[in-house]
Amino acid sequence: MQPKFKKNYYRNLLTWKELVALINIRPLMTDDRVKIAQVKHHEWTNGVWTLDPNCYPPLLLKEIIQNNICHLRDMSRCSRKVNDLAKRLEEEYNGSVDAHIYICRNPSLRHPFEMHFDSYDNVIIQCEGRTNFKVWDVDKTTSREKGMNVHLTKRKDPPIMDVDMRPGDAIWIPKYYPHLATSKNARMSISFPVEENAPRQPREWIEL
Ligand SMILES: [Fe+2]
């Protein structure tokens, strides 16, 4: 993968309205799927009929989404469009692809990842709002054994890409390329990480 940016790559991949429908499916909102940078201890009472005790109740989930930059993992089958795009990327990059839905409802929040690189290639599609992405040339000095998400602070050279992403725009960020995302307003984007040569889930879509 090479770093690149394309305007209007995929319009209407996921709208706020579609996201709202997803986050109201209580059994989907597990504490594993909803990722928050600062995990706090929460407790709640579950209804007698609910099967999955580890799902956030609605008002707590709303509070979390409004006051944190958070993302939802394992969402590559959240819609046919997202599933089909994941399939396309899996074939193109010969790997297993997930979809992480990043949500920021308050642009004054600092991105919890700051400048960092990842150990997998990433394709990011802007769905709603605007996000500034800066990408620096590949990092050759930091140990790559540290894990998936390596925080950096010392790059002083100018970024090789500095783009304001609007709905439909896409950016390709190869592994080990430092990047920084800054929300310009309430925004949602979907990040498709590629795990090379890893087992993939079936991409058939059920039609009845
Ligand atoms: Fe990243």
Residue 128: inside a domain: yes
Q: What is the 123 CA–ligand 1 centroid distance (Å)?
A: 10
Write out the residue range of the structural domain in which residue 147 sits: 4-35+55-196
Rounded CA gap, 79 and 84, in Å?
9
Q: What is the 105 CA–ligand 1 centroid distance (Å)?
A: 19
pTM attached to this predicted model: 0.93
Q: What is the 206 CA–ligand 1 centroid distance (Å)?
A: 32
DSSP structural state of residue 182: E
Rounded CA gap, 31 and 93, in Å?
30
Residue 111: inside a domain: yes
What does each C-alpha distance from 159 to 38, 56, 113 come to in angstroms?
Answer: 28, 38, 17
Residue 49: inside a domain: no
Residue 203: inside a domain: no
Q: What is the pLDDT of residues 149-208, one digit of tens each?
A: 666 667 788 999 999 999 999 999 999 999 999 999 999 999 999 999 999 999 999 999
Residue 82: inside a domain: yes
Residue 138: inside a domain: yes
Residue 207: inside a domain: no
- Listed as ranges, residues in the chain with pLDDT below 70 are 112, 145-153
Number of structural domains found in the chain: 1
Q: What is the 122 CA–ligand 1 centroid distance (Å)?
A: 8
pLDDT for position 179: 94
pLDDT for position 39: 74
Residue 47: inside a domain: no
Query: What is the identity of the amino acid at 24?
Result: N
Rounded CA gap, 188 and 106, in Å?
11
Q: What is the CATH number of the domain that holds 97?
A: 2.60.120.650
pLDDT for position 150: 64
Rounded CA gap, 85 and 122, in Å?
13
> Which residues, 6+ apart, have CB-to-CB distance to 91 below 8 Å?
none
Neighbours of ion ligand 1 (CB under 5 A): 118
Q: What is the 47 CA–ligand 1 centroid distance (Å)?
A: 37
pLDDT for position 110: 74
pLDDT for position 148: 55
